[in-house]
Amino acid sequence: MLRIFWLLIFLGIFSPALAVDTTATVPMKAIRVGQHSYYIEGQSGPATSENQGFMSNAGFVVTREGVVVFDSLGTVPLAQKMLGLIRKITTLPVKLVIVSHYHADHFYGLQAFKDEGAEIWAHKNAAGLTKTEGAKLRFEQRKEELFPWVNEETKFIEPDKYLQEDTDFALGGVHFSIRHVGPAHSAEDLAMLVKEDRVLYAGDLVFKGRVPYVGDADSKAWLNSLEKLTAMRPQVLVPGHGAVSFSPARDLALTRDYLTYLRSEMGKAVNNLESFDEAYAQVNWSRFRKLPAFEAANRANAYNTYLLMERELLNK
pTM assigned to the model: 0.85
pLDDT tens for the chain, residues 1 to 316: 455 455 555 555 555 444 578 999 999 999 999 999 999 999 987 899 999 999 999 999 999 999 999 999 999 999 999 999 999 999 999 999 999 999 999 999 999 999 999 999 999 999 999 999 999 999 999 999 999 999 999 999 999 999 999 999 999 999 999 999 988 889 999 999 999 999 999 999 988 878 888 888 889 999 999 999 999 999 999 999 999 999 998 888 888 999 999 999 999 999 999 999 999 999 999 999 998 889 989 999 999 999 999 999 998 7
User: Given strand 174-180, what is the order of strands in its sheet?
Assistant: 167-171, 174-180, 190-194, 199-207, 236-241
Strand duo 58-63 + 37-40: pairing: antiparallel
Q: Is 174 helix (H, G, I), strand (E, B) or coil?
A: strand
Residues present in the chain in total: 316
- How far apart CA 280 and CA 294 sit, in angstroms, is 14
Strands, DSSP E only, in 46-197? 58-63, 66-70, 94-98, 119-123, 161-163, 167-171, 174-180, 190-194
* Phi, psi dihedral angles at 121 (to 5 degrees): -115, 140
Bond before 183 cis per omega within 30 degrees: yes
pLDDT at 44 (0 to 100): 84
pLDDT at 253: 85
Q: What is the largest CA-CA distance in the chain?
A: 61
Q: 216 in helix, strand or coil?
A: coil
pLDDT at 9: 53
The whole-number pLDDT of residue 182 equals 87
The pLDDT value given to residue 249: 85
Tell me the chain's radius of gyration from C-alpha atoms.
20
pLDDT at res. 251: 83
Strand locations in the chain (E): 31-32, 37-40, 58-63, 66-70, 94-98, 119-123, 161-163, 167-171, 174-180, 190-194, 199-207, 236-241
Sorted by sequence, the CB contacts under 8 Å of residue 192 that are 6+ apart come out as 68, 70, 98, 100, 176, 177, 178, 179, 200, 201
pLDDT of residue 10: 54
Other Cβ atoms within 10 Å of 307 Cβ, number: 14
> In what order do the strands lie in the sheet containing 161-163?
31-32, 37-40, 58-63, 66-70, 94-98, 119-123, 161-163
How many distinct helices (H) and strands (E) make up the chain?
Answer: 11, 12
Task: For 135-166, write each residue's pLDDT tens digit.
Answer: 999 999 999 999 999 999 999 999 999 999 99
The topology (CATH level 3) of 20-249 is: Metallo-beta-lactamase; Chain A (3.60.15)
